[in-house]
């Protein structure tokens, strides 16, 4: 079943006549066409229609027509609310699903005022479909992860005292792009005291002996961004740094072991958090254990204290515990793992024993 058929089945199961997609990620999910501007409609009959403009029409037709979509450029200009109104009226659509989790209030009001039909919120239905990964999505993440690991390996000799965080982050991005990544923002690249900031930004700070360096990075293939974090010591590490690192690594192993089909996100989180709490660092692990990912880098299901949803077969999650001691240092270790049909598979292969660089 292709994506159009899958979404048409969803439309029927929700008893809608059609579903309107205007959010870029959802349109890409439905059509495999990235960065589209326009609208995509999926009808319960299995018919798919894309409205776009002259900038995209040729390429969008090449990609979408073989999947069964009609790709239409409205006469004159860009597709508008009026384009959808006319289509809805002609097709006799009475109930139209819309992306209540993505559409702005202004867009919703404009559609509601113009359309001669009922509008029904989609809720999390498409998100739940996106949680169940296809083989090709995992393959794209696998390729992205290989690009990221090669780039990090190539960068390691440069991570030494005197090198600057921002320049290393820029080089890492360049190496990933050179390796075939579609390009992404700068990685998280923090050293020394700054490594206690889980989402700190790289700055013009020099690496010093005795620093921990935390790098949280991903490459992108077909819109799918991989996600890995590694923490390295530079020059030397104190006993306390080694103990904290060992605790995070042990917590990660516990999280990886707990992740399974049908497990609640909060229970996977707890498996890792218990290790950190037992070591006395519970107050220093503020964020959730992990998140799913796909066309968005943070998707449901989550492994967090508050997430009571469960992991379906073929879902993917990151397992990324951390300990952050404010003003001193921090450690995070992150892998991506998925529930393959023949068993759990960790897609991250980069070594994670404590490594002292420089």
Give whichever of 25 and 227 is closer to Zn ion, judged by the CB atom: 227
Q: Specify the stretch interacting with Zn ion by CB under 5 A; choose among 115-123, 271-279, 305-313, 329-337.
A: 329-337
Q: Specify the stretch interacting with Zn ion by CB under 5 A; choose among 16-24, 43-51, 149-157, 212-220.
A: 212-220
Q: Specify the stretch interacting with Zn ion by CB under 5 A; choose among 15-23, 65-73, 176-184, 227-235.
A: 227-235
Give whichever of 19 and 169 is closer to Zn ion, judged by the CB atom: 169
Q: Specify the stretch interacting with Zn ion by CB under 5 A; choose among 169-177, 179-187, 202-210, 327-335.
A: 327-335
Q: Which of residues 305-324 bind Zn ion (CB under 5 A)?
A: 318
Q: Which residues pair with 317 in a beta bridge?
A: 337
| Interface with Zn ion (CB under 5 A), residue from 17, 73, 216, 299 | 216
Kindly state the tokens that stand for 140: 């794209």
What is the nearest approach in angstroms of Zn ion to the Cβ of residue 338?
14
* Mask for 235-274, x = binds Zn ion (CB under 5 A): ----------------------------------------
Establish whether the linkage from the previous residue to 301 is cis, with ω within 30° of 0: yes
Q: Specify the stretch interacting with Zn ion by CB under 5 A; choose among 64-72, 222-230, 278-286, 299-307.
A: 222-230
* Mask for 128-167, x = binds Zn ion (CB under 5 A): ----------------------------------------
The count of chain residues that interact with Zn ion, using the rule CB under 5 A, is 5
Q: Does 99 bind Zn ion (CB under 5 A)?
A: no
Q: Which residues are at the interface with Zn ion (CB under 5 A)?
A: 216, 227, 229, 318, 334
């Amino acid at each position: 079943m292709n994506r159009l058929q899958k979404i048409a089945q969803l439309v029927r199961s929700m008893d809608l006549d059609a579903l309107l997609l205007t959010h870029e990620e959802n349109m890409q999910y439905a059509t495999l066409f990235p960065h589209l501007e326009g609208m995509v409609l999926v009808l319960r009959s299995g018919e798919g229609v894309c409205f776009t403009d002259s900038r995209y029409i040729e390429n969008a037709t090449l990609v979408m027509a073989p999947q069964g979509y009609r790709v239409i450029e409205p006469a004159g200009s860009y597709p508008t609310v009026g384009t959808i109104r006319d289509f809805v009226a002609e097709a006799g659509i009475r109930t139209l699903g819309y992306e209540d989790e993505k559409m702005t209030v202004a867009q919703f009001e404009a559609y509601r005022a113009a359309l001669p039909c009922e509008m029904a919120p989609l809720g999390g239905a498409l998100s739940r479909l996106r949680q169940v990964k296809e083989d090709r999505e995992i393959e794209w993440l696998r390729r992205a992860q290989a690009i990221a690991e090669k780039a990090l390996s190539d960068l390691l000799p440069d991570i030494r005292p005197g090198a600057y965080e921002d320049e290393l982050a820029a080089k890492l991005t360049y190496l990933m792009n050179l390796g075939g990544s579609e390009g992404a923002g700068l990685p998280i690249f923090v050293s020394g005291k700054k490594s206690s900031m889980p989402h700190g930004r790289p700055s013009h700070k020099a690496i010093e002996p005795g620093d921990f360096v935390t790098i949280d990075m991903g490459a992108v293939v077909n819109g799918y961004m991989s996600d890995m974090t590694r923490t390295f010591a530079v020059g030397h590490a104190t006993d306390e740094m080694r103990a904290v690192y060992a605790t995070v690594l042990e917590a990660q192993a516990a999280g990886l072991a707990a992740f399974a089909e049908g497990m609640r996100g909060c229970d996977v989180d707890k498996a890792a958090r218990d290790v950190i709490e037992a070591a006395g660092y519970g107050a220093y692990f503020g964020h959730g254990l992990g998140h799913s990912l796909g066309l968005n880098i943070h998707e449901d299901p989550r492994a967090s204290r508050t997430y009571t949803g469960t992991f379906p077969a073929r879902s993917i999650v990151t397992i990324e515990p951390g300990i952050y001691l404010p003003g001193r240092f921090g450690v995070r270790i992150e892998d991506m793992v998925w529930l393959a049909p023949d068993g759990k598979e960790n897609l991250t292969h980069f070594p994670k024993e404590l490594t002292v660089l420089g």
